[in-house]
Structure 1
Amino acid sequence: MDVPMEEKRQENELQPVKTNQSLADSFSLPREIAFITIVCMSQFITQANVGICLSPLDIVGADFGLTQPGELAWFLAGYSLTIGTFILVFGRCGDLFGYRRMFVIGFLWLALWSLVAGLSVYSNHILFIFARVLQGLGPAMLLPNGLAILRATYPPGKKKGMIFALFGATAPNGAIIGAVFAALFSQLAWWPWTYWSMAIVSVVCAAIAYLVIAPIRHTRPADPIFTSLDIPGAFTGITGLVLVNIAWNQAPTVSWSEPYVIVLLIVGALFLAAFFVIEFRFAKHPLIPFHAFSADVSFVLACVATGWGCFGTWIFYSWRFLHDSRGLTPLLASAQFIPPGISGLIAAFATGYLMSHVRPAWIMCMSLSAFTLGTILIAIAPVNQTYWALTFVSLIVIPWGMDMSFPAATLMLSNAVKREHQGLAASLVTTVVNYSISLSLGFAGTIESQITHGETAAERLRGYRSALYFAIGLGALGLGISALYTARSYTWAVASRKE
C-alpha cells in the first residue's frame, strides 16, 4: 500500500541530515536577509506586545472601567506569565515535531488572540486579559524555536555570534515601536486597531517564515509522545507556576485577606512540589534535567531572575510615572522611550564583541549594574525635573542590562551543561526572564498596595516609588550574586591550573 504523500514528507523531514555543510551555505543573499529578519521578528514581536500594552494603558483601562495599578498590571503580567511558563514545553515540542512547524504555528496563534484582544472592546476586561494571557503562548512557541533555528542553521563563529547579538538587539526596539504605534492608534484612531494590526503582521510573518525557513530534520523519538514530552511534569509544573503567579498578581487587587488567594498559593506550591518529585524520580525524559546542572546554573539563573525582575518592575512603573505623575500623553511618553532603541543596538553589538574578550561573568556583573543604576535614576527623579536629566539617563542605561544579560547568561549556561542539553540553555534563560517579569510585578504590586493610602497624586507617586525601591533591591541582590559568581569563577580557574 502506498504511503500518503504528507506522511512521506514528514518522514523525510524527520530523518537526520548527513552533510558537512551548514544550512546557511545554501542560502542566496536575499533569502539569508529574509531568513535573519523573520527569525529576529520572533523577538521583535514578543517585545512589541509589551509596548502596545504599556503605551495606551490608561486609555484601555478607562474603556474597561479599570484605574487601579494592580488591575492594570495584569495586562502585562498575564502576557509574560504564559511566555515564561510554556517556553520549555514548546521548545520540547520543536525538538519532536519540527522547529519551523512550531515557529509558524506561533505566529498564527498570536494572530488569532491579537484579533480577540481587539474584539474584547465589545465585551469586558475579563476577555481582554484572557486574550492577553493566551497571546503569550505565541511568543512561547516563537522564541525557543527561533533560537533553535538559528543554532541549527549557522555553524559556530563570529557571524553566528553577531546574528545572536542582532536577535537580542531587536528587543528594546520592538517594545519602542510597539509603544509608538499603539500610541498613534489610541490617540488618532481607536486602540483595538493596535491588536488587529498585530494580527495582520503576525499572519504575514507566518507566511514569510514558511517560505524562507528550511525544515530542520529530526530523528523520530524512540518513546511515545506522552513520555517524550514529559506530560506529567509539564502539567504539574505549568499548573504550579500559573497558580502561584495568579496568587501574587491578584493579591494587590483584592488583598491577601481573600481566602482564595491563599488557597491558590498553597495549591500552586503543592503542584510545584509534585513537579520536582516527577522530574527527579519518575520522568524518563524530564522537562528540566536537574541532574545535568551544576552549581553554576543556579548562580546564572539567580542573576537572570533578579535582573529581569528588576526590569519588569522598572518598565511598568516608569510608564506609570510618566503617564500619571508627569501627565504625558501616550505618544509623548513613547517618544521619550526612543533612546533605549539606539542604546540597545550599541549594547547588543558591544556585547557581541566583549563575549570573545571578557569573561561572561564580568558581562553579567555589568548587566546587573545597569539594571540597578537605571532603576535608581527613575526612582529618585523629581516629578517636575526636565526629561534630559535623570529620566533620559535611566532610559540610556537600562538597555545595557537587557542586551548584556541575555547573551551572557545563555553562554554561561551553555558552558555549564553537557552537550546533549545545549538546546535547553537558551529556553531556560528565556523562561526565567519572562516568568520573573510577571512574578516581580505581583511582588511590586503587593508592596505598592500596602504603602498607598488614598487616591491623591502624591499617594500614587509614593506607591510607584515604593515599587521601584523593591526593584532596586532585586537589582542589588542580583549584582551581589553576580559578583560572587565572578569571584567563584576565578577561584575555580586558579584551582584548575594548579591541578
Structure 2
Amino acid sequence: MTDTDKVTEAHRPGRELHLGWALVLISVAQLMVVLDGTIVNIALPYIQQDLSIDSADLTWVVTGYALAFGSLLLLGGRLGDLYGRRRIFMVGLVVFAVASGLGGLATNEGTLLAARALQGLGAALASPAALALIATTFPAGPARNRAFAVYAAMSGAGAAVGLLLGGWLTGLDSLPVEGWRLTLLINVPIGIAAAALAPRFLPESESHPGELDLPGAVTGTLGLLGLVYGFSRAGSDGWTDTWTIASLVAGAVMLTAFMLVESRAAHPLLPFRVFLHRTRAASFVAMFLAPAAMFAMFYFLSQYIQNVMGYSPIEAGLAFLPFCAGIVVAAGVVSNLVNRVDPRFLAGVGTLMSTAALFGFSRLPYDTTFPATEVTGSYVTDLLPWIVLMSLGMGATFVPLTLTAVHHLRSEDSGIGSGVLNTMQQVGGALGLAILGTAATQIATDRGAEFAAAAERAAGSGGPQPTPEQVGALQEIAGLQIFTEGATNAFLVGAGMMLLASVVVWIFLDVKHEELATDGPEGVHVG
C-alpha cells in the first residue's frame, strides 16, 4: 500500500473510528503506566501506617516500580519486535493488572514491594509496545501526529494525574477498603479490559522468534538496573554512599559489557543503527534531559504544596490540575503545527518555555534570617503561572520529540526504538532527581548549620529565652524555610538542565516537517 493509499484509507469513516478506538486503548495503557509512578506518593504515610513499614524502607514502594520499569524497558521493546507488539502489549497489561491486584490486597511489606516490582515489569512490556503500535498502526502525516500528540500528553500529564488521583482516592474514608489500596486496585479492571479489546482494534506485527539476544538482555538489564538504582540512592543517601558508588560502577561495567556483546551479536537486543540518525540521537538526548527536570518539579512541588503551604492530599492533587489541562491543550495545538512547522522550532521554543518556568520556581520566597517569622508563598502568584508555563512548554516539547525519535525507524526496530525513548525518560528522571536532590540537600545542610549557630548565639546572649513551645515553632518554620531554599536551588539546576536540552534541540534536530508526513525506513533522509 502506497503512502497515498494509507492516507485515503485513514480518512474513511469506519477506518477513522477503528483508529480512534486503537488510540483510546494505547492512551489508557500509557496513562496507567505513567501515573503509577506517582499515584502512591501521597498515599505513602497511610501505607506505612497500615502495613507497619519502616521509614527507611518506605521509599521502595516508589523505587521498586521505577527500578523494574527503567531496567527492563530495552528488553520489553525488543520482545515486542520479536514476538509481536500487540501480543507483548497485552501480556504487559495483564501482568500490570495482576500485580496491581496483588499490591492492592497486600497485607505485608514484602507482598506490596514484590507487587510493585511486578507492576514495573508489566509497564516495561506495555509502554514500548504502545508507542511502537502508534508508529505502525497510524499512517504518516496528520493522523499519526495527532496520535503521537495524545500519547505525549498522556506521558507528560500522567505524573500530575497520578498525584491528583492518588490524593482523591487516598482521601476516601467512607469505603470498606482503605483509600491507598484503591490507588492500585483501580488498575485491575482497566488493564484487563484494555488487554481484552486489543485484538479487535490493534494489528499484530510480524514475529521473529528465536532471535532474542539473551547475553545482551542480561547485561543490558543489569546495567540499567545498576544505573537507575545508583541514581535513586544518590538522591537519598548521597553520591559518596558505598552502595551508590558500587551500584553506579557495576552498572557502568555491565553496560560496557553490553556494548561489546551487541557489537558482535547476529541479532542484537539494541542495534546500533538506531542511534546513527542524527535527529533521532538528538531526540533521545533531549528526552533524557527534559524529563530529568520535569519529574523533579513534581517531586519538590508536591512536598512544598503539602508541607510548606499546608495543603491536604486532595488539594495538593488539584493544585496540579492546571498542568494536566495545559499539557493536553499544548499537545493538541502542536500536533497541528507540526504539519507546518519544523520540529526544531516547536521543541526549541517548548524547552525554552520550560526553562523559564523552572527559573520561575527557583524564585519561590523564603526567609534566611533567624529566627524566621513566617512561611511565605502564594499558589496564585508564586506557583500557578509557572505550572501553566511548564505544562505548555512540555506539551510543545514532548510531541515533536516523540515523533522525531521514532520517525523513519525500520519496521523491525520500532519496538526497540520506543524502548530506548522510554529508557531515556526513566533513567533521565532518576538522574534528575539525584542531581536536584543533591543540590537541595547541600543548601539544606549549609543553611541548617547556620541556623543552629544563630540559635546558639541567641541562647548565649543572656537575653530573654524562648519557651520550649516557642523553640519548637521556630524550628518548624526554619525547617520549612530551609526546605524551600533547597528546592529553589534544585529548580535552578533543573532550569540549567532544561536549557541544555534546548541547546541540543536547536543545534542537532534538523528534520523538516515535510519528512514527518512520509513513511519508510531510515535511509530515506539521514541527517
Give the TM-score band, short-chain normalised.
0.7 to 0.9
Which residue of 1 is the match for residue 312 of structure 2?
329
- TM-superposed deviation, 1:30: 5.7
Aligned CA distance change for structure 1 residues 417 and 167 (closer, same or farther; 3 Å): closer
Name the CA distance, whole Å, in 2 between partners of 1:489 and 1:95: 25
Aligned CA distance change for structure 1 residues 173 and 295 (closer, same or farther; 3 Å): closer
Which residue of 2 is the match for residue 201 of structure 1?
190
Name the CA distance, whole Å, in 2 between partners of 1:417 and 1:111: 31
Name the CA distance, whole Å, in 2 between partners of 1:207 and 1:386: 46
Q: Which amino acid aligns with 1:213?
A: F
Which residue of 1 is the match for residue 472 of structure 2?
none
Q: Which amino acid aligns with 1:204?
A: A
RMSD of aligned residue pairs (Cα, Å)? 3.0
State the Cα deviation string for residues 92-117 of structure 1 (Å, max 9, x = none): 21222222211111111111222233
> 1:185 pairs with 169, 178, 197, which one?
169
> 2:431 pairs with 439, 446, 452, which one?
439
Name the CA distance, whole Å, in 2 between partners of 1:139 and 1:264: 23
Name the CA distance, whole Å, in 1 between partners of 2:295 and 2:235: 16
Identity rate, percent: 25
Name the CA distance, whole Å, in 2 between partners of 1:480 and 1:410: 17
- TM-superposed deviation, 1:85: 2.8
Which residue of 1 is the match for residue 130 of structure 2?
146
SS of the residue 1:52 aligns to:
coil
SS of the residue 1:180 aligns to:
helix
| Residue 237 of structure 1 pairs with residue 242 of structure 2 | no
Aligned CA distance change for structure 1 residues 420 and 196 (closer, same or farther; 3 Å): closer
Alignment check: 8 A CA contact 2:81 2:412 kept: no
Q: Which amino acid aligns with 1:47?
A: V
| Residue 164 of structure 1 pairs with residue 125 of structure 2 | no
Of the structure 1 ranges 189-198 and 323-332, higher mean CA displacement relative to structure 2 is found in 189-198
- TM-superposed deviation, 1:310: 0.7
Which residue of 2 is the match for residue 468 of structure 1?
491
| Residue 216 of structure 1 pairs with residue 204 of structure 2 | yes
Of the structure 1 ranges 99-108 and 247-256, higher mean CA displacement relative to structure 2 is found in 247-256
Alignment check: 8 A CA contact 2:19 2:138 kept: no
Q: Which amino acid aligns with 1:141?
A: L
Q: Which amino acid aligns with 1:404?
A: A
Q: Which amino acid aligns with 1:287?
A: L
Which residue of 1 is the match for residue 108 of structure 2?
123
Residues 50-449 of structure 1 correspond to what in structure 2 (within 5 A)? 50-61=37-48, 64=52, 74-120=60-106, 122-124=107-109, 127-189=111-173, 190=178, 191-210=180-199, 212-218=200-206, 220-221=207-208, 225=210, 228-280=211-263, 282-291=264-273, 293-382=276-365, 384-414=376-406, 421=413, 424-449=416-441
Alignment check: 8 A CA contact 2:129 2:415 kept: no
- TM-superposed deviation, 1:149: 2.4
Which residue of 2 is the match for residue 3 of structure 1?
none
State the Cα deviation string for residues 268-318 of structure 1 (Å, max 9, x = none): 2110110111122x1112222224514444433221111111111111111
Name the CA distance, whole Å, in 2 between partners of 1:55 and 1:28: 41
Name the CA distance, whole Å, in 1 between partners of 2:325 and 2:313: 20
Q: Which amino acid aligns with 1:348?
A: A
- TM-superposed deviation, 1:60: 3.7
Aligned CA distance change for structure 1 residues 193 and 259 (closer, same or farther; 3 Å): same
Aligned CA distance change for structure 1 residues 254 and 187 (closer, same or farther; 3 Å): same
Q: Which amino acid aligns with 2:122?
A: G
Name the CA distance, whole Å, in 2 between partners of 1:263 and 1:443: 18
Q: Which amino acid aligns with 1:358?
A: V
Alignment check: 8 A CA contact 2:61 2:113 kept: yes
Alignment check: 8 A CA contact 1:99 1:216 kept: yes
- TM-superposed deviation, 1:465: 2.8
Aligned CA distance change for structure 1 residues 84 and 262 (closer, same or farther; 3 Å): closer
Q: Which amino acid aligns with 1:395?
A: I
- TM-superposed deviation, 1:408: 1.6
SS of the residue 2:391 aligns to:
helix
Q: Which amino acid aligns with 2:269?
A: L
Which residue of 2 is the match for residue 9 of structure 1?
none
State the Cα deviation string for residues 19-42 of structure 1 (Å, max 9, x = none): x77996695676544332112112
Gaps (5+ residues) in structure 1? 1-15, 491-499
- TM-superposed deviation, 1:388: 1.6
Alignment check: 8 A CA contact 1:376 1:472 kept: yes
- TM-superposed deviation, 1:77: 4.4
The size of the alignment, in residue pairs, is: 460
Name the CA distance, whole Å, in 2 between partners of 1:105 and 1:241: 22
Name the CA distance, whole Å, in 2 between partners of 1:131 and 1:342: 31
Aligned CA distance change for structure 1 residues 304 and 252 (closer, same or farther; 3 Å): closer
Q: Which amino acid aligns with 1:93?
A: L
- TM-superposed deviation, 1:203: 2.0
Aligned CA distance change for structure 1 residues 29 and 158 (closer, same or farther; 3 Å): closer
- TM-superposed deviation, 1:207: 2.2
Task: Indicate the structure (1 or 2) with the bigger Cα radius of gyration.
Answer: 2
SS of the residue 2:378 aligns to:
coil
Aligned CA distance change for structure 1 residues 300 and 170 (closer, same or farther; 3 Å): closer
Q: State the TM-score, normalized to the length of structure 2.
A: 0.78
Name the CA distance, whole Å, in 1 between partners of 2:507 and 2:19: 41
Alignment check: 8 A CA contact 1:294 1:417 kept: no
SS of the residue 1:55 aligns to:
coil
Aligned CA distance change for structure 1 residues 426 and 318 (closer, same or farther; 3 Å): same
Which residue of 2 is the match for residue 495 of structure 1?
none
- TM-superposed deviation, 1:246: 1.2
Q: Which amino acid aligns with 2:289?
A: T
Aligned CA distance change for structure 1 residues 362 and 420 (closer, same or farther; 3 Å): farther
Q: State the TM-score, normalized to the length of structure 1.
A: 0.82
State the Cα deviation string for residues 162-188 of structure 1 (Å, max 9, x = none): 122222223355444433332222122
Give the ranges of 4+ consecutive aligned residues of structure 1 lying more than 6 Å apart after TM superposition. Answer: 20-26
SS of the residue 1:388 aligns to:
helix
- TM-superposed deviation, 1:72: 6.2
Which residue of 1 is the match for residue 24 of structure 2?
37
Aligned CA distance change for structure 1 residues 26 and 433 (closer, same or farther; 3 Å): same
Alignment check: 8 A CA contact 1:110 1:138 kept: yes
Name the CA distance, whole Å, in 1 between partners of 2:68 and 2:392: 25
Name the CA distance, whole Å, in 2 between partners of 1:470 and 1:73: 24
State the Cα deviation string for residues 92-147 of structure 1 (Å, max 9, x = none): 21222222211111111111222233234x323x6544433331222222222122
